[in-house]
Amino acid sequence: MKERKDDNISAMGTVSIGEAGKTGDWRSLRPVIDRKKCIPTVKNKPACFLCWLYCPEAVIKAGIEVKIDLD
């Protein structure tokens, strides 16, 4: 039987380590609010919500007490 030559070229590439950056490990790192640096929390004033504005996952609740809700 004659060998068949496969001329099809695949669009899939081989996966390289680090090509997509650090993925999969980020969940072990959790956001923490340093209450000593959060002036509105220390003074029991309405928060400025800069942390809420810059948090990419929207886990910070808007309120007088700034807190993170991971659920």
Number of H helices, E strands in the chain: 2, 2
pLDDT higher than 60, residue 13: yes
Please state the domain extents for the chain: 30-68
35 is written with which tokens? Answer: 């209450």
Torsion of CA 7, 9, 15, 21, to 10 degrees: 160
Closest CA relative to residue 66, chosen from 29, 37, 26: 37
pLDDT higher than 70, residue 64: no
The pLDDT, as a whole number, for residue 34 is 79
Name residue 54's amino acid.
Y
Average pLDDT of the residues in 53-67: 67
Q: Encode pLDDT of 22-40 as tens digits.
A: 555 556 666 677 778 877 7
The pLDDT, as a whole number, for residue 62 is 63
The pLDDT, as a whole number, for residue 58 is 64
